Structure 1
């Protein structure tokens, strides 16, 4: 019994000495005296191999020193030893997160990020730490950016766009979209591919997709007038004549003599005037009103207490209505409601 007690006493003493070495290592780490920190953590491990934190702390020092392979080895040992000792899940998660960080430091291509992402995911299954989740998101973003860079090839992008154009001429729009999409992947900064794909989506009646591509086209090159004709065409098809008119007018700022844009303006004005005169079928009016009520801008106008009173005055108080017509801001909103078919002027 006395022999057992002596062994227990010796173990306890070694553990206490190991903790002192750890504290000394922590102090050296804070001073950025990394070599000294390594010596203290290594000594702590010699004294007590049942405390995984000695390994994770030494791994942190190796990480700071740029000794990523040594860091990864210590993290692997920490995970292995931690599982043997049934250590706290948080400790194992910390080791895995540190390993993922070290691996990320040496990543040179998108494929190198696959094991990094996998390691962070393993860490999150042990313990869902916000810092690890942030690192995972950053690694996934870095992988995606590198994939785009590796895939970037303007020459192949142009070839794919030309293939898309051939299919478009043959009215094979789904096939054309496939090639325009590949062109965009090969060169995401070319507005022409987005313009071409927007035209395909419009032909197929996929208006939200067409609108998104047209807006991206304008974003990439605000002077490229095709972006405005594409966007205006989608809005016109959706019977959003007021918005289409604004789009065509915006395009004319960059090319005042563009016939396609000028024709778009004429078509929009014609449709807006039709609505203003009430020269639409009941079905058309109902459809326009239903679409307008989903428009946030129209909703805001109708919910505005001032505009609600204005609309009442137009119906019940001709004198007040006359005053309202002198206010450009009010009349602009009234015009939007007229264009949307919500208000009809007799």
Structure 2
């Protein structure tokens, strides 16, 4: 499955919040490439990431692309202003912030940006040399001028570059006439001062070999390919970004939260919401939807959209509820809504898809809800839906005819001694007919041939669960337990098999059950090699189960009675529990029969 632009963007946001700006740039770039249509927010996010790394040249490129895509988005011009500020272009930065205010008169970031620009200009003008001395002493001067679109073309002239190097080396020896006579130097001074100086008359001769671009050429001068990143001047240092770990980058770098709407609008919106809640409880869903719409139009809070989706859900208009939830999620991202509220939007979207029977979409949205905010209720719904998907898939696979074909195939493999393929065929039978006990029992027989006795026991237990009267499953289970030398368990299994057999009135398995029982008892209490009969009896007498039987007051009475009248023992053997204990004593050699 290919990664979507939104998923790349989410990764970029995560790295941005962690101040991992290079990684944020990488993912925002991938998001831009994956986006089907140009997305101004993605360019804004990447611009903010570049600005955080003080790479204002690339930040400006992305910011200008952002406003090119969406010229009515005030935040895009804030990005332009921040990048121009970082480059030291104070006048252009101010124009960008003013444009943001034209689009959004309450834009707090634009107001703060203008204030910062004006303070920088005032600080610069307060110095006797207008700050030029410190500007020309900047060790990154040449690199910065090559990266600045307004001066990059000039810096291709080696003679001009040498003049600037000389001025850096000896500022006191600079010739003012030379600055006034070369319009390129005048333009460079303007850039360093953060203002646009009018170009002199184009008829003024320039130094040999120098190209004097027209003003419009200067604005569109090609950018240098230098990899170096500019460092902002001391007097025009851009403000540091303030990172809110829950916010999207377009609202973070060098921005403050947008101005809140009027208190009156918020109060009216909440009043409309309360009215909607009342109508919702009265099951007047159409009227409730109108009230929630009114609240949303008064104040942008996605809680109102979530409520509207709930009303649409209860009304049975699931397509409308889905559309509203998707709107809430999109608007929530834009408005930097609390992640818990966005999580509710995803959860409601999941519930709606669940109601429509689209379980895969329900799982997808429950998972996204948990990514935003983990709650037990949504987690339980996710797991429940996943289980339902598995059950549906298993039920869709059931086919009695194909199950019988798999059984016959397994039988053929078994008769040939091909145990692995027999297991495979019986497994297919189980999938095709999960309620047929024969599939589990047959697979247990094949597993036993592969010496996988614990798995054979498990399959027999499943077969008995499906059909408690399936005597063959008991016998196969006892054989597997015998191989594991679990003698007491063998006897318990066979005792249960004998009782089931008697209740069914069948006697065909009695001999097999008794023989297997005696075999288990014999192996349990048989003499160990090199052990004398006395030592064997001593060891058997210490067996916990034998000790427990002999200490049972009821059994003591029965055994005492049997000593005086051996025939009475047969009457007691009719009691299944007593019969089990007497057979145990016989197997251990405590009671001897002739």
Q: Identify whether the pair has TM-score above 0.5, normalized to the shorter chain.
A: yes
- Aligned pair partner of 2:411 in 165, 179, 202: 165
Contact 1:325 1:331 in 2 (8 A): no
> Offset at 1:215?
1.7
Matching of residues 324-335 of structure 1 within 5 Å: 325-326=556-557
* Aligned equivalent of 1:88: 338
- Aligned pair partner of 1:55 in 300, 305, 308: 305
Alpha-carbon separation, structure 2, partners of 1:324 and 1:225? 30
- Aligned pair partner of 1:177 in 408, 419, 423: 423
Shift in CA distance, 66/52, structure 1 to aligned 2, threshold 3 Å? same
- Aligned pair partner of 1:215 in 456, 461, 474: 461
Alpha-carbon separation, structure 1, partners of 2:260 and 2:493? 85
Matching of residues 215-254 of structure 1 within 5 Å: 215-239=461-485, 240=487, 241-253=490-502, 254=504
Matching of residues 63-78 of structure 1 within 5 Å: 63-78=313-328
> Offset at 1:223?
2.5
Alpha-carbon separation, structure 1, partners of 2:530 and 2:514? 25
* Aligned equivalent of 1:187: 433
Say yes or no: does 1:267 pair with 2:513: no
Matching of residues 1-346 of structure 1 within 5 Å: 11-49=262-300, 51-107=301-357, 112-239=358-485, 240=487, 241-253=490-502, 254=504, 256-259=506-509, 261-273=510-522, 275-276=524-525, 278-281=526-529, 325-326=556-557
Contact 2:482 2:520 in 1 (8 A): no
Alpha-carbon separation, structure 2, partners of 1:134 and 1:27? 29
> Offset at 1:333?
7.4
SS in 1 for 2:468: coil
Contact 2:521 2:584 in 1 (8 A): no
> Offset at 1:330?
10
Contact 1:245 1:269 in 2 (8 A): no
Alpha-carbon separation, structure 1, partners of 2:555 and 2:447? 42
Contact 1:157 1:183 in 2 (8 A): yes
Could you report, residue by residue, the CA deviation over 1:74-100 in whole angstroms, capped at 9, with x for unpaired residues?
A: 111111111122211111111111101
Contact 1:231 1:244 in 2 (8 A): yes
Contact 2:329 2:342 in 1 (8 A): yes
Question: Which runs of no fewer than 5 residues in structure 2 stay unpaired?
Answer: 1-104, 107-258, 532-542, 560-576
Q: What is the RMSD computed on CA atoms of the aligned residues?
A: 3.3
Shift in CA distance, 274/119, structure 1 to aligned 2, threshold 3 Å? closer
Larger Rg: 2
Alpha-carbon separation, structure 2, partners of 1:245 and 1:13? 82
Shift in CA distance, 249/282, structure 1 to aligned 2, threshold 3 Å? farther
> Offset at 1:331?
11
Alpha-carbon separation, structure 2, partners of 1:270 and 1:10? 88
What TM-score comes out, normalization by structure 2 length? 0.46
What TM-score comes out, normalization by structure 1 length? 0.77
Alpha-carbon separation, structure 2, partners of 1:9 and 1:140? 42
Shift in CA distance, 177/28, structure 1 to aligned 2, threshold 3 Å? same
Size of the aligned set, in residue pairs, is 304
Shift in CA distance, 270/143, structure 1 to aligned 2, threshold 3 Å? closer
Alpha-carbon separation, structure 1, partners of 2:527 and 2:324? 79
Shift in CA distance, 337/67, structure 1 to aligned 2, threshold 3 Å? farther
Alpha-carbon separation, structure 1, partners of 2:583 and 2:527? 16
Shift in CA distance, 29/338, structure 1 to aligned 2, threshold 3 Å? farther
Alpha-carbon separation, structure 1, partners of 2:278 and 2:468? 57
Could you report, residue by residue, the CA deviation over 1:278-305 in whole angstroms, capped at 9, with x for unpaired residues?
A: 434489xxxxxxxxxxxxxx9xx78xxx
Contact 1:117 1:140 in 2 (8 A): yes
